[in-house]
Structure 1
Amino acid sequence: MQNEANDTGSPKPAISILIVSFNTRDVLRECLDSVAVATGNLVVETIVVDNHSRDGSAAMVREEFPWVRVIESTENLGFGRANNLAFAAAHGRYIVLLNSDAFLQRDTLCLSLEKMEADPTVGLASGRLVGRDGELQPSARMFPNPMRQLLVISGLADKYPGSRFFGQADRTWADPMEAAEVDWVPGAYSIIPADILHRYGFFDPRFFLYYEEVDLCLRIQSAGYKIMYWPEICVVHVGGESSRQIKTLEMSQTGAQLVLWRMRSTLLYYRKHKGSTAVAVRWLEEIWYLLRAWRNRLRSGEDARCEVRNQKRLADLMSLAWKETKGGRVSPPQPW
C-alpha cells in the first residue's frame, strides 16, 4: 500500500495524486482501487477533495481507503479551485491530476514518472484516454481559436475527422498511437512537475469549470516547456461515455447549465489571452445558432421544431454569458 507523506520520517512522495469528487462515490471507489494497483513500489500520496458531496463520498473514502487524505469543502469549488486546494497540501515531486471517473492501468504511474524524468523540457503530459469499451476519446488537442470553434460547433469536425483542416481542434487526423507535442490535454489525467506549478501557478480560480486546463497548458507552454501526449500511457475515462447526447431531445435544464458554464469560460479564456477576439467568438456562436434555428424553421415535424427551440436557447445562453462575464472580463460569483 502507499506511504503516508505526513508521517514523521516518511520519504517525500514521488507523486501526489489529486482527485476532485462531487457526488461520484461509486466511480470514486473504482478510481481509488485502480490507484492502489498502479502505485506498485512508488512512494505516492493520494488526496481527495470532496466538493460538498451529498452521497457520502468522503465517509466512504475514510472507511475503505484509510491511506487517502480527504479534504472536505463546505461548498462546490469547481474543478480548478478544488485542485488548487489539494495542490496546497501536496508534497510530491510530481502532481498527477486524476478525475474521479478515470481509472489507472497497472503501469500508468511508473511509465508516466519514467518518461517525465527522462525529459526535463516537458512541463505537462498526458496519455491516451479511452472509454470502458476501448473507444478512443479526444486526448491531444490544439488551442482554441475562432476557426476551430466554428469547425466544432458546425459539426464539420465530426463529419470529416480524417482531415487535417476540419479535424484540427482535436487532432482527429493524427495516428493516436504516435507520441506528439501538442497544445493542451484534458484534465482527466495529466502529470506535471510540482516545481513548475510553484513557479508559474496552478489553475486560474476564475474558471469554475471548463478551459482551466487549456489556460494552464498555455501558461506552461509560454514559459518554454512542452506539452506532451504519450499513447503508451492509457487511462480509462468514463466521462467521455456519459456525456454523449441524443441530438433530437429537448435540452435539459442541467444541459443548459453546463452549456452556460462552458460559454462563460470560453469568454473568460478569450478575453484573458486574445483580448477583443472574445467579441468575435461571442457573435460567431450566436449567429451560428440563429442561422441553425432559421434553417430548421423551413422543415416540418416535431424534431425540427425542437431544434429551433434548442438553437434559439443556445443563442440566448451565449448572450447571457456575455452579460454575466461583462464580455469575458469578470467571473460570476462562485459556485456557478
Structure 2
Amino acid sequence: MQDKITASIVIYKNNLEQLKGAVQSFLKSTTDSTLYLIDNSPTDECRQHFVHPRINYIFNNKNIGFGAGHNIALKDAMERQSTYHIILNPDVYFEHNVVDKLRAFMDAEGQVGLIMPKVLYPDGRLQPLCKLLPSPFILFTRRFLQFFPSWLDRLNHWYEMRFSGYDKVMDVPFLSGCFMFLRMDTLRRVGLFDEEIFLYTEDTDLTRRIHKHYRTVFFPEAVIYHYNQRGSYKNYLILIYHILSAIKYFNKWGWFNDTEREHINQQILLKFSGD
C-alpha cells in the first residue's frame, strides 16, 4: 500500500479536546493519507476516541520520547512508500487547505526537504518559530535570564529572525517541531530523529541535518494555530529533560567551537542584510 502523505502525533497525557482538533485538522485536509497516533502515555485511554480507518493507533506503554515516538511512524511510512510526512504537535489545528498548499509547494520545489507554515497563537499573534542555530549562550539566556527583558528582546530579534518580518518564503536553519512537513526521500538520506535526544532540541538537530543537504523553508502562505504549552516553563521534570537534551545536542555539534553553526547563521544574516 502506498500513501501519498502520512503524519504522526506523539501523545503523552495531552488535553483531549486539543488532540481531537489536531487529528480532525489532518483528516479533513487529506484523503490519500494515514495518521499515526503514537501514545507514550501510561494508559491507552485515548484509543477509544480515535477509531478511524485512516488512523493507526500505537500504544507504547511507556514514554520513549518525542523523536523515538515519531520514528516508529516514520519507519512504517517509509515501508508504505509515503511521499511526504508531517510531524504534528497534539496542540495544533488548521484549515483544510493548509496541507494542499504545502504539498503543492513541495511538488514544485524538488530541492526543499522540509517546510514549516506560519504559526499563530489561537488569538492571532505570531509565534516566531524560525530560528538561527542556537549556541549555549543563547539557550541559557532565553531560559534563565528573562528578568532582563530589553536585552532578551534584542537577542530574540536576531535569534528568532524577527528582522525578516515573517512575511516571505525564506530558508531557515532551525524550524520548530510543532509542524514539520518532510520529504521522505530527504529522511532516507539524512536519517530520522536522533533518539538519544529525549525531548526538545530534536527538531533543531533534524532541521540542521536536512539544511546541510536540502532547503529548509518557512512558508507563510499556509497558516496553522498552536496553543504552545511551553511545558519546560511550568514543569521542573520537563525542564530537566530540556537541559539534558541541550547537553546532548551540544555534545554532538559542538559547544563553543562550532564553525558550521557560525557559518550557517552568518549566511542567513548576510542574505537579509542584502535584501
* Pairwise same-fold verdict (TM > 0.5): yes
User: How many Å apart are 1:117 and its aligned residue?
Assistant: 1.3
2:40 to 51, 54, 57: 51
- The TM-score with structure 2 as length reference comes to 0.84
Q: How does 1:124-203 map to 2 (within 5 A)?
A: 124-149=114-139, 151-153=141-143, 154-155=145-146, 159=150, 163=154, 166-203=156-193
Q: Is the 8 A contact 1:148 1:168 kept in 2?
A: no
Deviates most, 51-60 or 173-182: 51-60
Residues 1:259 and 2:239 are matched in the alignment = yes
Output the CA distance in 1 between the equivalents of 2:121 and 2:156: 24
Deviations along 1:178-201, one digit per CA (max 9) or x if unpaired, are 221111111111111111112211
Q: What corresponds to 1:289 in structure 2?
A: none
Output the CA distance in 2 between the equivalents of 1:200 and 1:55: 32
> Which letter maps to 1:144?
P
Q: Is the 8 A contact 1:184 1:217 kept in 2?
A: yes
Q: CA RMSD in A?
A: 2.4
Deviations along 1:178-234, one digit per CA (max 9) or x if unpaired, are 221111111111111111112211100001100001001111112x21110011111
Pair 1:258–1:209, CA change in 2 (3 A): same
> Which letter maps to 2:39?
D
User: How many Å apart are 1:157 and its aligned residue?
Assistant: 8.7
Q: Which runs of 5+ in 1 are unaligned?
A: 1-5, 7-11, 246-250, 279-336
Q: What corresponds to 1:73 in structure 2?
A: 60
> Which letter maps to 2:73?
A
Q: What corresponds to 1:38 in structure 2?
A: 29
Output the CA distance in 1 between the equivalents of 2:153 and 2:34: 41
User: How many Å apart are 1:272 and its aligned residue?
Assistant: 0.4
Pair 1:150–1:23, CA change in 2 (3 A): closer
Aligned-residue identity in percent = 23
Pair 1:74–1:272, CA change in 2 (3 A): same
Pair 1:191–1:126, CA change in 2 (3 A): same
Q: How does 1:237-276 map to 2 (within 5 A)?
A: 237-238=226-227, 240=228, 242-243=229-230, 255-274=235-254
Q: Which structure's CA Rg is the greater one?
A: 1
User: How many Å apart are 1:73 and its aligned residue?
Assistant: 0.7
Pair 1:99–1:93, CA change in 2 (3 A): same
Q: What corresponds to 2:50 in structure 1?
A: 61
Residue 71 of structure 1 aligns to a residue whose secondary structure is strand
User: How many Å apart are 1:113 and its aligned residue?
Assistant: 0.5
Q: Is the 8 A contact 1:181 1:226 kept in 2?
A: yes
Output the CA distance in 2 between the equivalents of 1:21 and 1:150: 28
> Which letter maps to 1:230?
F
> Which letter maps to 1:159?
S
User: How many Å apart are 1:261 and its aligned residue?
Assistant: 0.9
Residues 1:226 and 2:218 are matched in the alignment = no
Say which structure, 1 or 2, has more relative contact order (CA 8 Å, 6+ apart): 2
Q: Which runs of 5+ in 2 are unaligned?
A: 259-275
Pair 1:109–1:155, CA change in 2 (3 A): same
Output the CA distance in 2 between the equivalents of 1:229 and 1:158: 27
Output the CA distance in 2 between the equivalents of 1:79 and 1:121: 27
Q: Is the 8 A contact 1:80 1:207 kept in 2?
A: yes
Output the CA distance in 1 between the equivalents of 2:231 and 2:200: 17
Pair 1:172–1:13, CA change in 2 (3 A): same
Q: What corresponds to 2:261 in structure 1?
A: none
User: How many Å apart are 1:67 and its aligned residue?
Assistant: 2.5
Residue 262 of structure 1 aligns to a residue whose secondary structure is helix
Output the CA distance in 1 between the equivalents of 2:128 and 2:26: 23
The count of residues paired between Structure 1 and Structure 2 equals 253
Deviations along 1:130-159, one digit per CA (max 9) or x if unpaired, are 111111112211110144335524338953
Q: Is the 8 A contact 1:104 1:235 kept in 2?
A: yes
> Which letter maps to 1:85?
I
- The TM-score with structure 1 as length reference comes to 0.69
Q: Is the 8 A contact 1:210 1:261 kept in 2?
A: yes
After superposing on structure 2, the runs of 4+ consecutive aligned residues of structure 1 that deviate more than 4 Å are 160-163, 275-278
